Amino acid sequence: MTRFFEPKVRVTGLLHATGALAGLCTVAGFFASSSWLLELACHFRLQYALALAAVAVLTRVSPGPNRASAGAATPPAHQPRWPSLVYAALALSNLAVLLPSFVPPATRPPAGDSTRRRVVTVNVHTANPRHDLVEAFLRREDPDVILLIEVDARWLTQLEALTNVWPHTIQAPRDDNCGIALFSRHPFSEARMIGLGEAGLPSIEAEVQIGGQPVWIFGTHPLPPSGAENARLRDAQLEHAADHAAARTGSRLLLGDLNTTPWSPVYRRLLARSGLIDTLRGRGYQPTWPSHFVPLWIPLDHCLASPDLTVLDRRVGPHVGSDHRPVIVDLAFPFGDSPLSMSHCPSTVALSLGH
């Protein structure tokens, strides 16, 4: 009998197409240093691993095409084994790249006179109307230092009450998703806006007195790599940020939405050049973007710390209306409290850089 409704596309064909696409992206990610376009492929390692593992299993257990001739009842053959093995090998290659995020680094325990402090970075998203969610989150977490990304004048007006708790602040509001602001409950010895690279975007460099000792805080937000020129400007900004951090001594933190993931060669160069450590290492997969679409979740928001600081905890915060989720890091600083750390004499630097 003629089969009028025989499907043109088989399930096995779709599986192999999915496996081929995920495999191609996997291989492209290993050549990320060659091109900004290939670098985009290296960020979704977990997604590739899950897709390839699923395809490896399903193609192995699914039946092959029915080879029965007319009038013969031959059982369907199974798919050949080698495609499943290739998909499994590619899945394992992605897992190998992800492994450092799950293996805790060797660290010494914090000293007996160390002080536990919390830092938070939040890309609030300029168009996000939920100022209440952001403020409630910050008051609930009660950090010592807050870096806010993508703030404009409206955001800073709505969050003005934060200065009652975090009175020391430096702000550069902008209306182009590039505004930035730092809030601290501890006083600044020095605080300034700096331009890193050629993009002309504001970054923050501040020396914060915590426990009577200086801690350098660097906050930055480079352009997303949406094209070759933007990718070049992002890379240059991160290189300059690394140089600034490396030029300082003592305790240092580099915070922000860095628009790259730990599996990128750009990120690895940032770590090597700055001498800082990734607080995410050994803490698992902690995605921050895009908050509204789980299948593409990747970690774009980061906190890097100098080796003298011990990471006690690191986690991703709740949804606050933004396309990013916050990052919360608890650190052990190698010194104790002093009366200076309790100072609440406000210091505010505000720059209007919007256009």
pLDDT at 341 over 50: no
129 has a pLDDT exceeding 50: yes
Whether the CB-CB separation of 217 and 196 falls below 8 Å is answered with no
What pLDDT is attached to residue 104? 80
Judged by DSSP in three states, 160 sits in: helix
The owner of tokens 């009366």 is 339
Whether the pLDDT of residue 77 is over 60: the answer is no
* pLDDT confidence of residue 2: 52
Residues 266-310 pLDDT 10s: 999 999 999 999 999 999 999 999 999 999 999 999 999 999 999
Q: Check whether 354 has a pLDDT greater than 60.
A: no
For residues 211 and 333, the answer to whether their CB atoms sit within 8 Å is yes
Rounded distance, CA 212 to CA 250, Å?
Answer: 13
- Asked which of 16-30, 43-57, 205-219, 324-338 is least confident by mean pLDDT, the reply is 324-338
User: Are 177 and 126 spatial neighbours (Cβ–Cβ below 8 Å)?
Assistant: yes
> Which stretches does DSSP call E strand in the chain?
115-123, 145-149, 168-172, 180-184, 188-195, 202-210, 213-219, 251-257, 277-278, 301-305, 310-316, 327-333, 347-350
Res 190 pLDDT > 90: yes
Q: Is the pLDDT of residue 196 over 60?
A: yes
Pick 234 or 63 by higher pLDDT: 234
Count Cα neighbours of 148 within 13 Å in the Cβ-side half-sphere. Answer: 33
User: What pLDDT sits at residue 81?
Assistant: 83
pLDDT score, position 342: 36
Domain ranges of the chain: 11-101, 115-350
Torsion over CA of 112, 165, 306 and 301, rounded to 10 degrees?
Answer: 130
Q: Confidence class of residue 114 from pLDDT cuts 50, 70 and 90?
A: low
Type of residue numbered 255: L
Considering the four listed CATH numbers 3.60.10.10, 3.40.50.300, 3.90.1260.10, 2.40.50.140, the one that applies to the domain covering 115-350 is: 3.60.10.10
Edge-to-edge strand ranges of the sheet holding 277-278: 188-195, 202-210, 213-219, 251-257, 301-305, 277-278
Report yes or no on whether pTM surpasses 0.85. yes
Q: Specify the pLDDT at position 143.
A: 97
Stretch 72-99: mean pLDDT, rounded? 82
Beta bridge partners of 119: 145, 329
Higher pLDDT, residue 338 or 207: 207
Choose the weakest-confidence range: 110-114, 231-235, 254-258, 279-283.
Answer: 110-114
Residues 131-149, mean pLDDT to the nearest whole number: 98
pLDDT at 12: 84
To the nearest whole number, what is the mean pLDDT of the chain?
88
User: What was the pLDDT predicted at 338?
Assistant: 41
